[in-house]
Every structure is written in structure tokens, then in C-alpha cells.
Amino acid sequence: MAALVAITSFLHETTSAAATATEGVRLAEEAQLDLLLHQRNADPLVKRAREVDLTQHLVDARQVATTEEEAHILAEAEARVSDFVAASRADSPTEASKQEAAYVALEALIAVNTEQARDATRQAASLGRTATFVGLATGLLLVTGAALILAWLRRSAFAPVLAIEEQMGRFTQGDRSARAPEEGAAEMRSLARGFNEMAATIERQREQQLTFLAGVAHDLRNPLSALKLSNAVIAPDLPLPPEDRIRQTFTRVQRQVDRLERMVFDLLDAARVESGKLDLRFESADLRDVVHASVELFAPTTPNHQIVVDAPDEPLVVSCDPVRLEQVLNNLLSNAIKYSPKGGTVRASLRRESGFVRLSVADEGMGIGPDDIDHIFDPFRRTGASKELVSGVGLGLYVARRIVEGHGGQIVVTSTPGRGSVFTIELPAGAAQVRPAASESAGGPLLPPLESYG
């Protein structure tokens, strides 16, 4: 019995070793993914964020290194990654070769962790044979009990380990759909679940990367095509067209440049959010000024829409970042207009409720389907009904939510397909205060409670 207890204890250690090796594989795969994302992004902010993630994954990998061989290979990988980061920051011509060397070093780290997991599996199988021998040696009185224990061990421990080893092999060979069965002992289920979560995370990140690249490429193609056509109007070997046509061409060019600029700003804001560098500069600001500034920006651009402002008579002062809140409101108004292609009323409402300040934007557009509304604030998410009708990369609402949350508030949406949507921002009223209204003689007219634009 003591021998069986010792074998079981050693089996637990073997399982822990396999789990540690699996974690090493996951961290190395994550580091490889960061390396690829670093190379595919031109934005310096995104590159720095990937460098931080890459370094952190290697630090975590060192914490789970269990052998001198693994530590040596990990040190080599750290050196190659450090060389690549230095070459990238210096814009060195050797950047590509340094990246390849770093990738190969990480591949070696994956291989040694995979081999460690296989060694643990082989040790577990060897323990099974030893347990069988010990069970037979305990005598006729323990034959039945030993047989039951061995059957349990084979069914609950060894088979899941072998199954996990098989799936790990498939995954490392490029089969990204490989998943381990979550069965057997609790440790085996936990190990299989960890491997499956790692594999799913890597595959999901890969799909998100491909989806993002495809979306950006698609949305860049349209304005670039328009710019190319506009440029062809003024050919170097032909007489200049009439002045009115030149002005129309430059107007079209300016519109496309503005569109590209908005896309770039969305990408930059998303990068700042992901890296935790989206700064909010709080100051006392009248939310009515924020609302009217946004409305006056969009009202002249959309003759088919009537933009209505519903705000209180008295100024509503809040400690906030007015520039960022105006960015949020600009995004909501822009979406309300774009997703109402037939025109209609867009209403911006501002109210001070009990305990919070509520700002909402309502439209009479196409609305959001139930399958999309739960994911409307996810990055790179666009509603299925409008992907071909409205341009964008799906980052505006994601950034807007993070800005609102940075103010301690929340943003929610209600929508009925075919009848429109209402986006509501709620900010805590603890930072809000109502100033006495200024008279016209004291410095200017009062803002009306309800105004129409368009």
C-alpha cells in the first residue's frame, strides 16, 4: 500500500510537470504571436505595447522553467528577442534577420517544453506498469482491490495524459483545431482545460488579427480608389480642367483625406486604450457646451437629418475631460447619421437625474439586431446589416466605452431593428454641480432647452 501511495504521489508530480510544460508552450506561443504582431504593425505605440507583452511572456516563461536545458534555451531566446527589439527601435537593416532568429529561438523553446510533456507522459505510463506489478504482489486478498485501483488509474489518469500528449503534438505541428478531451481525474481535466483555453486564445487572436487586417484593407481601398480617380482628373500631360471641376476634385480629395484621418485616429486611440495610455485631463466643463459643439459640427453636413438638442436651461458643470467626451458624442452623432441613410430626426438629450447625469443620442435609423447588440462595443465589431453600407473599422464605440468608463460612468444601448437606436451615457453626479444661470447682461444669452439644427 505504501508503494501505491508513493506511485500516486509521483504521478501527481508528473502531472504537475506536464502542466508546467504546457504553460511553457503557451507562453512561447504567445511570445511568437507578439513577435508577428510587432512586425505587422507600423504604429510605434502598438510596437511598444507588443514589446512589453513579448518581454513579459519571456519573464513568465522563466518562472516555469524546470531544467537547465530549458533555462539555457530560454536565455538564448531572450537574447535573440532583445537583439530584435534593439534592431527594430534603431530601424536597422538587420531587423528581419533578427526577427527570424528570435522566432527560431522561441520555436526551440516550444520544442523543449513539448518534449518535457512527452517525458512526463512516458513516466506516467511507466508508473502504470509498476503499479500493476505492485498490485499483483500484494497478494490474493488485495487482488480485487488492486485491480479496481489499476483500472481507475488507466481510465482516469493515463488515457487523458496520452490524449493530451497527442493533441499537443497535433497543435505544435500546425493543426490549430486540436483540442484535448476534458475527462479523467481533476488534474487531467484541469490540464486539458488549460491547453484548450491556450489553443482557443491563440486561434482567436489569429482570427481577430486576420479580420482586423482584412477590415482595414477593405476600408482603405475605397478612399484610396477615390483619391486615385481624383488625381487622374489633373493629368500632367493634359490641359487643366475648368476651375469648378478642380474645386469639386479638391473637395472630394479633402473628404477622402478626412475619412482616412478618422480611421487613423480610431486606430491610434485603440492602441492607446490597449496599452493603458489613454490619458483623461479633467476640468470643470458645461456639458451643454460639449453637446452644442458636437451638434454644430454635424448639422451643416447632413441636410436630410434634423438634429434636435434637448438640454436644461441652467449650465450643468461636470468635472470631466471635455475633449474626450466631445469625441464620444461625435462618434454617437456620426453613427446616428450614418445608420439613418433615409434621414429623420437625431435627438441629443442631456438631463441631471438623481445620482447621475444622463446624456443620450437617439436616431430613427435601421437599428441593431439582437445578435449584434450584445457585442456592439467590442473592438472591430460592426453590425451585420451595415457592413457594406457604412465604412469604418469598428473601433469608435469600443474607444467611446473606454472613455466613458474612465469617467466612472457607463454607456448602454437600446435598439429596435427598423426603428432606430438610443445610446445613453450615464456619468456619476458626484462630480456634477449646477451653476447659477448667467443673465444676458452678465455675459451672454441663456442656451435654450430645445433647439433644432438642420
User: Same domain for 332 and 438?
Assistant: yes
Better-scored residue on pLDDT, 393 or 442: 393
Phi and psi torsions of 436, nearest 5° = -60, 135
> Which whole-number Å values give the CA distances from 344 to 289, 413, 453, in the listed order?
24, 19, 12
Contacts with 307 (C-beta within 8 Å, 6 or more apart), sequence order:
295, 298, 299, 333, 345, 346, 347, 348, 452, 453, 454
**pLDDT for 221-247, tens place per residue?**
767 777 777 777 777 777 778 888 888
Considering the entire predicted model, what is its pTM? 0.47
Q: Considering 208, 232, 254, which residue would you say is the last residue of a domain?
A: 208
User: Same domain for 183 and 261?
Assistant: no
Better-scored residue on pLDDT, 410 or 451: 410
The predicted structure's pLDDT at residue 435: 38
Q: Considering 149, 176, 208, which residue would you say is the last residue of a domain?
A: 208
Which range of residues forms the domain containing residue 98?
A: 2-208
User: Same domain for 334 and 366?
Assistant: yes
User: Same domain for 252 and 328?
Assistant: no
- Rounded to whole angstroms, the Cα distance separating 372 from 360 reads 20
Q: What is the mean pLDDT of residues 103-126?
A: 79
- Rounded to whole angstroms, the Cα distance separating 216 from 56 reads 28
Which grid coordinates are listed for 411? Answer: 454607456
Better-scored residue on pLDDT, 119 or 4: 119
- Rounded to whole angstroms, the Cα distance separating 406 from 325 reads 11
User: Same domain for 142 and 105?
Assistant: yes
User: Same domain for 203 and 234?
Assistant: no
Picking from 153, 189, 160, the residue whose alpha carbon sits closest to that of residue 8 is 153
The predicted structure's pLDDT at residue 437: 34
- CA angle, 304 as apex, 302 and 307 as ends, to 5°? 65
Burial classification of residue 448, based on how many CB atoms lie within 10 Å of its CB (0-12 exposed, 13-18 middle, 19 or more buried): exposed
Segment among 118-122, 175-179, 242-246 with least mean pLDDT: 118-122
User: Same domain for 330 and 440?
Assistant: yes
Residue 447 and residue 288 in contact, taking contact as beta carbons nearer than 8 Å:
yes
CATH code of the domain covering residue 305 = 3.30.565.10
**pLDDT for 39-70, tens place per residue?**
777 677 777 787 788 788 778 877 877 788 87
Residue type, 25: V
User: Same domain for 314 and 423?
Assistant: yes
Contacts with 276 (C-beta within 8 Å, 6 or more apart), sequence order:
none
User: Same domain for 426 and 293?
Assistant: yes
Number of domains the chain contains: 3
Residue type, 122: R
Which grid coordinates are listed for 399? Answer: 474607444
Provide the mean pLDDT of the chain: 78
User: Same domain for 328 and 228?
Assistant: no
**pLDDT for 312-367, tens place per residue?**
988 888 889 998 899 899 989 988 998 888 889 999 999 998 888 999 999 998 88
- Rounded to whole angstroms, the Cα distance separating 421 from 413 reads 7
- Rounded to whole angstroms, the Cα distance separating 95 from 88 reads 6
3-state secondary structure labels for all residues of 162-220: HHHHHHHHHHHCCCCCCCCCCCCCHHHHHHHHHHHHHHHHHHHHHHHHHHHHHHHHHHH
Q: What is the mean pLDDT of residues 133-147?
A: 71
Q: Considering 234, 254, 275, which residue would you say is the last residue of a domain?
A: 275
The predicted structure's pLDDT at residue 325: 92
Q: How far is CA 71 from the centre of its chain?
A: 32
Q: What is the mean pLDDT of residues 251-262?
A: 77
Neighbouring-strand partners of residue 286: 317
Neighbouring-strand partners of residue 350: 359
Please give the helix or strand (H or E) that residue 283 lies within, else none.
Answer: strand 283-286
User: Same domain for 65 and 158?
Assistant: yes
User: Same domain for 126 and 233?
Assistant: no
Segment among 21-30, 164-173, 370-379, 395-404 with least mean pLDDT: 21-30
The predicted structure's pLDDT at residue 288: 93
> Which whole-number Å values give the CA distances from 215 to 162, 266, 331, 387, in the listed order?
41, 13, 19, 10
Residue 339's SS3 state is coil
Which grid coordinates are listed for 119? Answer: 517525458
- Rounded to whole angstroms, the Cα distance separating 343 from 181 reads 54
Whether the pLDDT of residue 445 is over 50: the answer is: no
